[in-house]
A and B are shown apart, each in its own frame.
Chain A
Amino acid sequence: MTRTAGEMTPATSKGPDVTTTQTKTPEQAEGPRPLSAREGAGGDKIFSGAALAAGAIILVVLFAVAVFLIAQALPALVAPQDQIAGGKGFWAYILPLVIGTVIAAVIALVIATPISIGVALFISHYAPREIAQILGYVIDLLAAIPSVVFGAWGISFLAPALVPGYNWLSSTLGWIPIFAGPPSATGKTIMTASVVLAVMIIPIITSISREIFLQTPKLHEEAALALGATRWEMVKMAVFPFARPGVISAVMLGLGRALGETMAVALVLSSGPLLASLIKSGNQTIAAEIALNFPEASGLSLSTLIAAGLVLFVITLVVNVVARWVISRHKEFSGAN
């Protein structure tokens, strides 16, 4: 069959082509060497096996993390009470550290959550569309700065800068136990450490919240605006109810990060026993305690620190699993990835 160019529509030209290929098939079968059914099957097996093994390694590693930590921590858990640092047994040693860790992380959350939600809203709903993405990159830059640099910044810039604030707090609000004076003259307090932690978790909460805010159904937003709602009313009526579970889990993930953060606290905080006042030197977190004492530790003190690490692991595990559970309950908000 001959084709006259330009006259045939693609639909009609297809017909003859199909018939020609069909008539050609028997000849073509003799051309290239036929593939046997088994060829390359070995590659398939090896490749799928390797993929499976890699996945299994991750599970084994995580299992091993638990097993080795427990094995190395065990001596501290069963040792007589007077041999542990502090002389009152492991649990008496770890309790103030746990409380210090939780205090620092919670203050960081209280500071970071409203700011992060504001930033996320700004990027998703307030900033002009053209610069919103660039602003997102800028906030991600904050996440890229290494924690030790934040620690160095905290100790050399932030701590001295906050001292006047602490003096003011202790003189005007000193009757509240958490602001009891005299405040630290260097500013190396748990409050400063918490501010640094807050700066470090802002990008985490922001990026997850931003994703979730952007997933708000456009129809809901436009319906609210069409009914005459102002932008803020639209955000309150359409965006927040939709995003609430996702934002909660974002905050939980930020909490997990704040609990486990080491360097900011180890550098910034001048540690000491557990205190109610947030603006005096004192308090300590698990992670910083490990980092500060690990280099000189051996034997039982090493076990104690590893046991402390295990406690930290369990706490962050619980927080993270709860956060993931909240996310998975609302699969459509899976902006956490």
Chain B
Amino acid sequence: MASITTTARRSALTRNRLPRYAIWAAVVVGLVLGAALSTLVGFNPFGWGVFAAIVFTAVYVAWSGVVEGSRKAKDKLATCLVVGAFLVALLPLISVIWTVLVEGTKGLATPGFLTTSMNGVSGIQDNESASDGTKVLGGIYHSLLGTLLITLWATIISVPIGLLTSVYLVEYGNGNRLSRGITFFVDVMTGIPSIVAGLFAAALFATIFGPGTKTGFVAAVALSVLMIPVVVRSSEEMLRIVPNELREASYALGVRKWRTILKVVIPTAISGIASGVTLAIARVIGETAPILVTAGFATKINTNVFADWMSSLPTFIYTQILNPTSPSNPDPSLQRAWGAALVLIICVMILNLVARLVARFFAPKTGR
């Protein structure tokens, strides 16, 4: 915005330009008129903001149109719209994080929330806590454990396959037909709806082990379908920016190709690869639909991914909201769901932060 305002001196070059205070004057007019207009329809801060923005834009653009002509006015209108779009996009982000923080802290602050499961917690206990005001029983220990195990297995499956595939694409493929096919289908995999990935894993295991096979491992396979393309794409990008001089220097010393890749290429790109894998984990840790159709939902602690249903944080949130433990008193269930949502968001944010820090601090020193 600062660049739009004019310099103080009014020479021939700066004639027909808005004075420097124009933008602030328009802001004040917008705020005042916006408050007045929003009082007409019932005052609330959100309405005030919207009306103020509209009035500000109208005043500022009209003023500019009178003083500066239509081209400058259009430019100012576009600037207002672009900045407005950004502010509008921020609203849901702030709103979501605020809602989760406000609603979630109550659940998270309940003693035992992180260390107990939902085993034995039924509608009776929830009705009691709602009527007597006692503490809400039950927690997310089983879901936390399930999320960790399922994500761990998904990572164990996806990372070797994804990394080796990207090595093939970059080091061996040379743009042949197979590598072009892989690139194309990896792109296609990126677009698979998460629920279809879940259905695939369910259908695969139903065909092999009979219908109704729902375990944590099936969920891990479903998540791998979503995770592999992300790992392949990010590692491929990182391997491609390793300078060719490094490979050639290694070959010139007589080092075999596989040792060159293991000792030179991958170590150079490892920070990027690690951050890509972390982002991929952050992406799948919040997936609900594939786990819902592959691992069911449990209320008990289950540490065996190869047998029995397993709970996870996203499915816990989903079932607690949609089918509260006590249908007549959904509040305890909602409190648990928001607490779980807060834990999940914290996990995802930490993973994202770690990915960025890894990418920044362990980046190879190229010296160029």
- Contact surface of A with B, Cβ cutoff 8 Å: 35, 40-41, 43-44, 46-48, 50-59, 61-62, 64-65, 68-69, 71-72, 114-119, 121-123, 126-127, 135, 137-142, 144-153, 155-158, 199, 202, 206, 230-233, 235, 253, 256-257, 259-263, 266-267, 287, 290-291, 294-295, 298, 302, 305-306, 309-310, 312-313, 316-317, 319-321, 323-324, 337
Q: Is B207 a contact of A260 with CB atoms below 8 Å?
A: no
Which residues of the partner chain B approach A50 to less than 8 Å between Cβ atoms? 164
The A-B contact count (CB < 8 A) is 280
- Contact surface of B with A, Cβ cutoff 8 Å: 71-72, 74-75, 77-79, 81-86, 88-90, 92-93, 95-97, 99-100, 103, 160-165, 167-169, 171-173, 178-179, 181-182, 184-197, 199-200, 202-204, 206-207, 211-212, 225, 228, 232-233, 237, 254, 256-259, 261-262, 282-283, 285-289, 292-293, 296-297, 314, 317-318, 321-322, 334, 337-338, 341, 344-345, 348-349, 352, 356
Which residues of the partner chain B approach A206 to less than 8 Å between Cβ atoms? 89
B160: which of A54, A64, A72 is its contact (CB, 8 Å)?
A: A54
Name, among A44, A123, A126, A309, the residue most crowded by chain B CB atoms within 10 Å (CB to CB). Answer: A309
Q: Is A51 a contact of B93 with CB atoms below 8 Å?
A: no
Given the contacts A51-B172, A142-B89, A58 and B182 also touching, CB distance less than 8 Å: yes
Q: Is B288 a contact of A337 with CB atoms below 8 Å?
A: no
Which residues of the partner chain B approach A319 to less than 8 Å between Cβ atoms? 191
Chain A nearest CB, measured from B179 CB (Å) = 7
Q: Is A68 a contact of B203 with CB atoms below 8 Å?
A: yes
Given the contacts A59-B182, A122-B86, A142-B89, A290 and B165 also touching, CB distance less than 8 Å: no
Q: Is A235 a contact of B78 with CB atoms below 8 Å?
A: yes
Q: Is A287 a contact of B289 with CB atoms below 8 Å?
A: yes
A59: which of B181, B282, B292 is its contact (CB, 8 Å)?
A: B181
Query: Per DSSP, are chain B's interface residues mostly helix, strand or loop, or mixed?
Result: helix
Chain B nearest CB, measured from A317 CB (Å) = 6
Query: Per DSSP, are chain A's interface residues mostly helix, strand or loop, or mixed?
Result: helix
Given the contacts A230-B71, A261-B193, A312-B195, A267 and B318 also touching, CB distance less than 8 Å: yes
- The chain A residue sitting closest to B164, CB to CB, is A54
Q: Is A306 a contact of B203 with CB atoms below 8 Å?
A: yes
Q: Is B75 a contact of A262 with CB atoms below 8 Å?
A: no
